[in-house]
Structure 1
Amino acid sequence: MTKLFANLQTRPRIVTAALFAVAFVALVSHPTLAKSLGADVWNVSNLREQVRVATDESARLSAEDDTVLNRIAVKESIVRELIEGRATLTEATDRFTQLNAARPQAMDAIRFAFPGTTDREKTARNVISFALGRTPPAARAALSARLEAEFQQAVAAG
């Protein structure tokens, strides 16, 4: 009877050992399978390098996100002053131009998206669009008329 129980206890161990052996052979003979399962322990140094590179990239992107969010907050503030009449279109355009100077791709996008003969006119159109997009519909027509008049004055003044 004791021998019967001994066999019952040994059999699961043998089956478990056999399964581990089969899994090990499968992973070693098919490295892509091991890699896709994350079981390629022989590449730990490569994995550590990948983690380091990903961490560095994450930090870089986080810093870039902070910069972009800061630029957006500054632009929101500028536009709020413009909408409330505490800044002119010319002043807001100057401040947007200063912000965009640090990011040439921003000016490239403005050149593509907004009409105008000069970068200054295109930036002014960007400011107007930004302001109108943040104005309630009921007040949009009056703001549009005011900003368009300021735009025409600025263009005429050169």
Structure 2
Amino acid sequence: MSQVKKDKPLASNRKARHDYEILETLEAGIALTGTEIKSVRQGKMNLQDGYISFYGGQAWLKAAHISPYEQGNIFNHDPVRDRKLLLHKREILKWDQELRQKGLTAVPLKVYLVRGRAKLLIGLARGKNKYDKRQSLKQDQAKRDIDRAMKDRY
């Protein structure tokens, strides 16, 4: 199997990695309308408030904002409508079961293109406590300091 080239992220949810501990990730397709995909390709998507919901045997991306396409006129879409995620049935059932049992949540992490199609990386996450967030910030700062010292040294 050959590697599929993934383009740079069009939108990312950096706050999710700060607020949550990501346990597992999964790539899902997104069912978009014509003007939505054009806006996503321009990078006009915001995942900050978005979350993933499972019901009716389907996965949905909720509260993610895609700005209306400038040349879209009457064909434009509702910016915060629910968008269906394209996953295999067994993946939906597995994640739905894990979310119900363990008190976890599913959050959108980033959107990117693969062969011209929009893909969403979703993460199975557990919320961090305040002290966990502080610990993460300390570790990140220590890593930056070490990298900076090594850069100056060589």
- Which bracket does the TM-score occupy, shorter chain normalised? under 0.3
TM-score, length of structure 2 as denominator length = 0.18
The structure whose residues are more often strand, as a share, is 2
TM-score, length of structure 1 as denominator length = 0.18
Structure with larger RCO (C-alpha < 8 A, sep 6+): 2
